[in-house]
């Protein structure tokens, strides 16, 4: 494999690492855009390709975006779940809340379930605080040096 044309994957987003024109190192500029240190050529990762396509084709569906950019349907859906994009004017193509199954346009949870989830996290933090269980110190009580969480038998 020619290392100058290598593309490595972090998650499902394919990010370019070397310039396809001169083989120079690509520097990340933000929003999925990379620029070659040597020749200044610009390249894009999957997010940048989708973002650029949607800038010019507002309201495109996943199939249209995938066909035009070469980015997989799964990667595009993952970007929607990560709140990078939002579904608009979509006939039946909504994604579903992972807790209750309601239709949502982006993210993983609907607003009601997101509030419930955060309340549960807060309540768990309160419970742990009241019971004296706290993080840090790698399992030892700072004042005495004894191990925490060891129950006497």
Question: What is the phi-psi region of residue 101: left when phi exceeds 0, alpha when psi lies from -120 to 50, beta otherwise?
Answer: left
Question: Sign of the C-alpha dihedral, residues 68, 70, 73, 75?
Answer: negative
Q: Where are the domains positioned within the chain?
A: 3-85, 95-132
| Average pLDDT rounded to a whole number, residues 120-137 | 78
Please give the model's pTM, rounded to 2 decimal places: 0.65
Q: What is the pLDDT of residue 27?
A: 94
| Average pLDDT rounded to a whole number, residues 39-58 | 95
Residue 133 has pLDDT above 70, yes or no: no
Q: What is the pLDDT of residue 130?
A: 84
How confident is the model over 91-120, as pLDDT tens digits? 556 788 999 999 898 999 999 999 999 999
Find where tokens 């987003």 sit. 13
To the nearest 10°, the Cα dihedral for 29, 37, 65, 101? -40
């Amino acid at each position: 494999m020619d290392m100058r044309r290598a593309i490595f994957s972090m998650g499902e987003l394919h990010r370019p690492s070397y310039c396809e024109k001169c083989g120079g190192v690509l520097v990340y500029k933000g929003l999925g855009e990379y620029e070659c240190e040597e020749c200044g050529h610009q390249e894009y990762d999957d997010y940048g390709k989708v973002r650029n396509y949607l800038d010019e084709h507002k309201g495109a569906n996943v199939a249209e975006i995938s066909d035009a950019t070469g980015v997989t349907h799964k990667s595009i859906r993952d970007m929607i779940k990560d709140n990078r994009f939002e579904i608009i004017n979509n006939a039946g193509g909504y994604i579903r809340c992972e807790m209750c199954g309601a239709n949502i346009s982006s993210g993983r949870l609907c607003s009601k379930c997101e509030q419930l989830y955060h309340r549960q996290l807060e309540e768990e933090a309160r419970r742990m605080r009241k019971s004296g269980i706290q993080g840090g110190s790698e399992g030892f009580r700072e004042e005495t040096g004894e191990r925490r969480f060891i129950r006497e038998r």
